[in-house]
Amino acid sequence: MIGFDYEIENYLNYNKNYHYKNNKKSKSKIKTKYPFPKLQKNQFNQNQNQNEKFISSSLNLIPISKELLNSTHLPFGISIQPFAQFNQNQIENQNQNQNQNQNQNQNQNQNQNQNQNQNQNQNQNQNQNQNQFNQNQFNQNKIPVIDFFENEPIICRRCGGYLSPFSKINEFENNWECSLCKTLNSIPSYYFSILNQNIHQITSNQLIEIIINSNQNINELKYLFIIEKTQKMIESNIFNLIISSILKIIENQNQNQNQNQNQFNQNQNQFNQNQFNQNQNDLFPKKPKCKIGIITFNKSIQIYNFNQNSRFESEIITDIDDIFIPIPESSIFIDIYENEDNKNKLKEYLNIIISSSLNENENDNNFIDDYDKSNHSSFGVAIELGSLILQKSGGKIITFNSTLPNYGKGKFDLNSNSNSNQKEKEKFNFEIENQHYQKIGKFCFENKIRIDSFIFRENNINLSTLIKMNEISGGNVYYYDFYNGIKNFQKENEKEKERIENEIKKLINKEEGFFVIMRLRTSQGIKISNVLYGMDEVIMNQNSEIFLPTIDCDQSITFLLEHDSRLKNQTNIYIQFAMIYSNNKQNNEKRKRRIRIFNLELKTSSNLKEIFEKANQEVIISILSKNTAKEIKNYKIEEIKKRIIKKCEKIIGFYQQFCLDRKEKEKEKEKQIKNFKLPKKLKYLPIYCFGLLKNQLLDLEETEDKIISIILYIKTSPIYLILKFLYPILIEFQNQNQNQNQNQNQNQNQNQNQNENQNENQLMILNNLRLSSGSLKLKEAFLIDNGLNTILWIGKEISNDFLKEHLNISSKNQLIENENENEWNISKTIQNLIQEINKENSRNLNFSIIPRNSKNEKLFLKLMIEDRTEKTNSYINFFDSLLENKYF
């Protein structure tokens, strides 16, 4: 990595014509022609109750033929995030803006109609209706739910599609025409009852959820924790941290419930807001039943018996070659909501487990086994036992391990070295050394079991083999890479402890659907060509239905589409996504099955320019990233990079050659320098493609374990997280006094588009910066967020006042001499900002402080993707190469 000072000098001297100033307060009149993306803040357009956060298409105008689509080189796909969460801050901001506009209108009306009482009364009535509209708009941010009770939902007798707003209903003949296959279907007479508003709600909402009467209702949810209890995990205090985190979650459950009940009693009129807060505060699912079980393992396996009639004991399995379930399933799990005694008993057991691991001289033979001091790991046997326990009921397995499995089934050859000679590699080695975990993944998939894994890596753990069970079962992997060694975790990683604890809470608190069946239906002429998700090949049955054990709110699935036949011009194409599931956040006596339905209407066209102008670059970039993550296992890194560049060149070149008018082309010929023109919907495509090229996903210096965890993260993440991972957010901190002195003679209009937030510590936050070292200032501090990590970079010439107020450091020398972050007390201002960032991300981010000229500064400079490095070009060079390619 080229040094910071050299990079700035090289950047400024590279070409003065290309130099840009991102700081909007600057008086420079130089304009850059290189676009850069705005902040990705998890905000999406919403029209006619259609939110792009749930379902969005890469093309809003569909080419009429397959040949026309292939000529544009644009991917055609549908990105779906079934359990997308509405951003409460966004909802409040929208309501505040609308209230401000309404107040302005009210003042104008009052000034104009002071002497007209009737008009004033009418205005008051209109204002009341507008306020009701605001409340209804807030309610629209929650998908409408319809309970059909004993009735069945209306479906097409030919294609199985559901009644939608795009269906044509003939009330006189009691039939409706399916928008997908154009088949006439009859409507039961009871749906036309005056008291029945189901048809009205279905035909007026493109996003809808239906409660159905099914024999597959879930009576209980089971969570099974499988935790490694080796000497390394105990000495590093990670084992106790995991147990104590589960204990804190259970202890806080009652507090959250009492708070929610008080809020509900005090604000009955604001039920929707309380319900939103309640869903956020609930941890483990509520009634009817939520059962928890715990298994620990090392060379043996310990199953903890929660039988109400017995004292604390654990069943130890030493003969792992012939695995079996030693106690009844009812004794393995305990229901924390059945009564208060169960919850207290689980707390008691967890405290005993913690104290027993701390006290090596414990004489309880029912708990301590002969292999506590070993570093042998029978992880393969433990996960097999857990899958057998949940075989009949299904559920969720959460694993914690740090050691390469070296004992029993699923053990690895310790002599194998899959991470050897990184410099000589041209591609990553993701060979599967053991089929055991792939078989477990298939077994869990068939029995509706999901596996989420926490990996604490010090050495090679062969994650490419272990991750198969997560990919197939639909689970996630939380990867922790300890550079200083896992044994030093207890002394040097206090913040990592807090991160792990919050990560477990966030995982359990997620809204997710269990026992999922999903299907995407399309109009005639369009069909599904491929599905992009965690597993390499998504399993679909003959009816094109996809079965998943679970899917949570931070996961998305992408359907790639293609033409089945030629389409007519200026016609409509309809797409309907339906998903049957059981929700873990329902509080009913039984968790009834639900059908969540998303409808989408697209038009066809033969006009190439209109197709490009109405494309969706966010979905296109997401598809390119997911395809790259899928191809990295089979191709060399250089080949993948060439494919990305060619794809970007072809898209831009085709638009320049076939979509521009003749007058625009003649103007280009008259000018010495070519003008770069792309439609607004695709103007950020080059910078995101460049971010994908420089992403750590394609960095051969990274380990296979790190890369394989990133692959699964990209393949399952929603659009906004992928965009942030390709082009992170850079935030600048400035002292308010300094900022006021610098801007005394500037106009106020220059500062309107900046996101500035004042706080109690007189700190100003500017968050619209490009990822280049030219944006950095040695007198300021900067925070960068890519969805997985947050880094606070501190300039070399930063003021002592900033250090005292926000880091509790007296001098600048302590930045380099003492890099132990545990002794730095971060101010509430920065802590609150980090908490807000964590809320918008699917993971609890790894926060680190990196001063200027420190050892780990390379980690921060790697995220300055627009800079030139020793092995890669700058974004300016990449952009010039796009202008010079043969397609223009």
20 and 56 fall within a common domain: no
At residue 439, the pLDDT reads 94
pLDDT, tens digit, for every residue of 720-738?
A: 999 999 999 999 887 655 5
Q: 394-408, 755-769, 838-852 — which one is most confidently predicted on average?
A: 394-408
Residues 239 and 374 reside in one and the same domain: yes
What is residue 480's predicted lDDT score, i.e. its pLDDT?
87
Mean pLDDT score, 18-40 = 38
CATH number at residue 643: 2.60.40.1670
Give the model's pLDDT for residue 231. 86
Residues 542 and 643 in one domain: yes
Q: Does residue 278 lie within any of the structural domains?
A: yes
Residue 440 maps to which CATH number?
A: 3.40.50.410
pLDDT tops 50 at residue 382? yes
Domain shared by 387 and 265, yes or no: yes
Does residue 99 form part of some domain? no
Q: Which residues pair with 521 in a beta bridge?
A: 576
C-alpha 382/C-alpha 409 separation (Å) is 9
Identify which has the larger pLDDT, 760 or 520.
Answer: 520
Average pLDDT over residues 830-857: 86
Long-range (24+ apart) CB contacts under 8 A made by 768-771 are 768/22, 768/24, 768/38, 768/39, 769/22, 769/730, 769/731, 769/732, 770/20, 770/22, 770/36, 770/730, 770/866, 771/727, 771/728, 771/730, 771/863, 771/864, 771/865, 771/866, 771/867
DSSP letter at 270 equals G
Looking at residues 781-806, what average pLDDT do you find?
A: 89
Listed residues 509, 528, 554: the one ending a domain = 509
496 vs 350, which has greater pLDDT?
350
**Does 567 lie in the same domain as 472?**
no
- Does the pLDDT of residue 99 top 60, yes or no? no
Residue 198: the pLDDT is: 64
Any domain includes 888: no
Q: Which of 669, 525, 593 is nearest to 62 (CA)?
A: 525
Is the predicted pLDDT of residue 769 greater than 90, yes or no? no
Asked if 666 and 740 sit in the same domain, the reply is no
Query: Is 329 within the bounds of a domain?
Result: yes
Last residue of a domain, one of 179, 204, 229: 204
Q: Which of 51-60, 390-399, 709-718, 812-821 has the lowest mean pLDDT?
A: 812-821
559 & 675 share domain? yes
Kindly state the helix (H) or strand (E) to which residue 332 belongs, with its residue range. Answer: helix 329-332
Q: What is the pLDDT of residue 141?
A: 61
Q: Count structural domains, the chain.
A: 4
Task: Specify which of 747-756, 765-774, 806-815 reaches the highest per-range mean pLDDT.
Answer: 765-774
CATH number, residue 790: 3.40.20.10
The pLDDT, as a whole number, for residue 739 is 47
pLDDT of 588 > 70? The answer is no
Same domain for 409 and 312: yes
Q: Based on DSSP, count helices (H) and strands (E) in the chain, helices before strands.
A: 29, 29
Q: Tell me, what CATH number does 178's domain have?
A: 2.30.30.380
Q: 306 lies in a domain?
A: yes
Predicted confidence at residue 286, as pLDDT, reads: 57
Q: Domain range holding 197?
A: 145-204
Share of the chain above pLDDT 90, in %: 33
Choose between 825 and 314: higher pLDDT.
314
Average pLDDT of the segment spanning 568-581:
91
pLDDT at 437: 95
Q: Range with the lowest mean pLDDT among 627-636, 663-672, 701-710?
A: 663-672
Confidence check: pLDDT of 362 > 70: no
In the predicted model, is pLDDT for residue 13 greater than 50? no
pLDDT at site 810: 75
Mean pLDDT, the chain, whole residue set: 76
Give the model's confidence band at 148: pLDDT under 50 very low, under 70 low, under 90 confident, else very high.
Answer: confident
- Predicted confidence at residue 502, as pLDDT, reads 87
- Residue 195, pLDDT > 70, answer no
Residue 272 pLDDT level (bands cut at 50, 70, 90): very low
- Give the largest Cα separation in the chain, rounded: 93
Q: Give this prediction's pTM.
A: 0.84
* pLDDT tens digit sequence for 416-453: 555 544 445 677 878 888 899 999 999 999 999 999 99
Instruction: Give the C-alpha separation, 716 to 810, whole Å.
Output: 45
238/181 same-domain check: no
Q: Give 271's contacts (C-beta < 8 A, 6+ positions apart).
A: 264
- The pLDDT tens digits of the residues spanning 638-686 come to 999 999 999 999 998 898 888 877 666 665 555 544 556 788 889 899 9
> Is the pLDDT confidence value at 409 over 80?
yes
Residue 493's pLDDT is 59
pLDDT value of position 97: 46
Q: What is the pLDDT of residue 494?
A: 66
Distances (CA, A) of 768 to 213, 587, 739, 795: 50, 42, 16, 18
Q: Say if residue 527's pLDDT is above 50.
A: yes
Asked if residue 224 has pLDDT above 80, the reply is yes
Whether pLDDT at 790 is above 50: yes
Query: Of 475, 509, 543, which one is at a domain's C-terminal end?
Result: 509
Would you say residue 709 has pLDDT above 90? yes
734, containing H or E segment: strand 729-735
3-state class (DSSP) for residue 177: strand
In a domain, 877, yes or no: no
Average pLDDT, integer, range 572-586: 87
Using CA atoms, how far residue 840 sits from 42, 74, 125, 256, 441, in Å, is 7, 29, 38, 21, 30
Closest CA relative to residue 226, chosen from 462, 455, 568? 455
Q: Has residue 327 been placed in a domain?
A: yes
Q: How many CB atoms lie within 10 A of CB 244?
A: 17
d(CA 77, CA 57): 6
Q: What is the reported pLDDT for 11?
A: 34
Q: Domain check: are 399 and 269 in the same one?
A: yes
Neighbours of 255 (CB within 10 A): 10
Note whether residue 89 is domain-resident. Answer: no
Q: pLDDT tens digit string along 280-338?
A: 445 666 545 688 999 999 999 999 988 767 677 888 888 888 888 988 888 899 887 77
**Which residue(s) pair with 582 in the sheet?**
514
Q: Are residues 468 and 566 in the same domain?
A: no
Contact 771, 866 (CB under 8 A): yes
Rounded Cα distance between 881 and 689, Å, is 13
Same domain as 352, residue 295: yes
With contact defined as beta carbons under 8 Å apart, do 727 and 691 qualify?
yes
> What is the pLDDT, as a whole number, of residue 147?
82
Q: pLDDT tier at 551 (50, 70, 90 boundaries)?
A: very high
pLDDT at 280 (0 to 100): 45
In the prediction, which pLDDT does 130 show?
40
Is pLDDT at 787 greater than 80 in this prediction? yes
